[in-house]
Amino acid sequence: MDTALSGIWRHAVVTGGAGFVGSHLCTALLHHGTAVTCVDDFSTGAPENIAHLRDRPGFTLVEADVADRLDAGRDDVDLVLHFASPASPADYLRLPLHTLETGSLGTRNALALARAHDARFLLASTSEVYGDPQQHPQNETYWGNVNPVGPRSVYDEAKRFGEALTTAEAGSHGTDTGIVRLFNTYGPRMRGHDGRAVPTFIRQALAGEPLTVTGDGRQTRSLCFVDDTVRGILAAAASDLRGPVNLGNPTEITMLELAHTVIELAGSSSTVTFIERPTDDPAVRCPDITLARGKLQWEPRVGHRDGLRRTIDWFRKRLDG
């Protein structure tokens, strides 16, 4: 952990703190000596993600829907990290209205909490705001190519609205805000059936099942291991950068290459099978991280083979357990 971050914040509120990325954030903040209030309604987060934190001094769990209310329960809040949102296709297609409400009403409530405590606010946005991009790689000045009524729109537009609301809040009230756009984060604590490629491929490989590659498998993604993503998030939180700023790995990998790599690293006998490609599935996805490198001195450290190996090991231990 970066010792330079120790003691910066007294108390952080992490919405969606029992989710995949949120739970890693809670853990990192506690390591830095920051008290953490984790807010989650467990619609997609999991109690086991934060089980190791329950008895830690400084950790508090509040079970609540941020779209309904958000109260930290104490006065010393100096950081609000808004990470509540269904993020996988399986979740946001199952919970379309909840996804939109979390991105709109939930963001409003999280911003109001930050304003009331004069706290730094950081919004977790996503590379999905770029849609199926016509600019490659994508930098923060690109406006995107998003279908506002397609099947992915509930997530894409919730995040785009959250960015607009965060920007308006800073301009209207002077709230100290920042926006990070996360690209394809993966690692331990993902759910095997959440619909994203990495956990799906790993689950299938460990079960000896065919890996289901959509389309012809030539579409690309840029995979960023969760430890790297968390480092970037905390660096953005500790800065005065308003953003948005891309946080992701600029090394692309095709879905077919990813499938074969997972099979190899898992020592699996699985084969690859091809299925229909989802509507509005982006053909390419790769971040330009010039801004993060220059303003945050951040870039990924974990290569995809190392990160996948660590993620496979975590999934295997769960299966063995």
Q: Which residue do the tokens 């065919």 mark?
A: 210
Q: Which H, E and C letters describe the chain, residue by residue?
A: CCHHHCCCCCEEEEECCCCHHHHHHHHHHHHCCCEEEEEECCCCCCHHHHHHHCCCCCEEEEECCCCCCCCCCCCCCCEEEECCCCCCHHHHHHCHHHHHHHHHHHHHHHHHHHHHHCCEEEEEEEHHHHECCCCCCECCCCCCECCCCCCCHHHHHHHHHHHHHHHHHHHHHCCCEEEEEECCEECCCCCCCCCCHHHHHHHHHHCCCCEEEECCCCCEECCEEHHHHHHHHHHHHHCCCCCCEEECCCCCEEHHHHHHHHHHHHCCCCCEEEECCCCCCCCCCCECCHHHHHHHCCCCCCCHHHHHHHHHHHHHHHHHC
Considering 92, 130, 142, 155, which one is annotated as catalytic?
155
**142 carries an active-site annotation:** no
Q: Do residues 124 and 81 touch, judged by C-beta distance below 8 A?
A: yes
Active site residues: 155
